Chains A and B, each alone.
Chain A
Amino acid sequence: GDSVTQMEGPVTLSEEAFLTINCTYTATGYPSLFWYVQYPGEGLQLLLKATKADDKGSNKGFEATYRKETTSFHLEKGSVQVSDSAVYFCALRSTNAGKSTFGDGTTLTVKP
C-alpha cells in the first residue's frame, strides 16, 4: 500500500537558516505529492503540490521537486522566519485512490 516517511522532528532553526524536511514515499503508479502546513491551533493548509515527475511545487518561498528516481519530495526554504514555525506534513494521493496518505508530520520551530 501507499506510505509516506518524513524526517523526524522536532527541527529547531535560527531565523534566516536554510530548511530541508525530507520526505520519501512508496506508491503504486504515479501519485501526486503534497506538502501541508499546520500552524498552532489551526487546520492543515495546502502549501504546495506536484503532480508528475520533475515538477517543482512552490509557494511562500517553499519549494519541493518530485523525484521519481529517488521517490522523494523534500521541502526546502532558503531563509526561514519565525512565522514559519508550524507542523509540516508530506502527503501523496494515487490516481483512483479514495484518500490521501499522510506522513507523521515534522514540527519546525524557528527562533529569532
Chain B
Amino acid sequence: DTAVSQTPKYLVTQMGNDKSIKCEQNLGHDTMYWYKQDSKKFLKIMFSYNNKELIINETVPNRFSPKSPDKAHLNLHINSLELGDSAVYFCASSQDNRGGNYGYTFGSGTRLTVV
C-alpha cells in the first residue's frame, strides 16, 4: 500500500495548456508539501499545507495553485504551462510541521514535460 501516491507519473503537454497533479497520503500526517526538482536535481519547495491550511507559499508564479480538500490530499494545478515548467514535481508529507524531529515521506514524482 503506497504511503504517498502521485498521479500521473508522467505528463507530456503542450505550452499554454492547463494541467493538474494529484497527491494522496495514507500515513495520517498533518503536513503535505510540493517540491520541484530541476534537471540538476536541485530541490525547491513550492507550497506546504498543514491540516488544509496553506502555511508555505514560496516565490512561485501565480500560474501554480495548490489545493488541499482534506489533510490526506494535496493537488497542484498549473495554468498556461511554459517550457520552463518542465521538471519533476514531488509531493511529500510529514507528521508535524512544528517539531523538527520528523522526516519527510516522498511520493515517486511526476515528470512533467512541456513541449
Question: What residues make up the interface of B, taking CB atoms closer than 8 Å to A?
Answer: 4, 31, 33, 40-43, 45, 48, 50, 55-56, 90, 92, 97-109
Contact = CB atoms under 8 A, between A and B. Distances in A.
Q: Which 7 A-B pairs have the closest CB atoms?
A: A43-B106, A46-B103, A95-B100, A32-B100, A93-B100, A105-B41, A44-B106
A44 B45 CA distance: 14
A69 interface: no
Given A93-B100, A95-B99, A105 B56 contact: no
Contacts of A66: none
B104 A100 contact: yes
A102 interface: yes
Interface of A: 31-32, 34, 36, 38, 42-46, 49, 51, 87, 89, 91, 93-100, 102, 104-105, 107
A5 B99 CA distance: 23
A44 B37 CA distance: 11
B103 A104 contact: no
Contacts of B4: 43
A90 to B, nearest CB: 11
Contacts of A32: 100-102
Nearest to B105: A46
A95 B41 contact: no
Given A104-B41, A105-B42, A94 B100 contact: yes
A43 B56 contact: no
B109 A99 contact: no
Contacts of B106: 36, 43-45
A102 B43 contact: yes
A65 B3 CA distance: 28
Contacts of B90: 43-44
B99 A43 contact: no
Q: Which of A31, A44, A87, A93 gathers most chain B CB within 10 Å?
A: A44
A104 B42 CA distance: 5
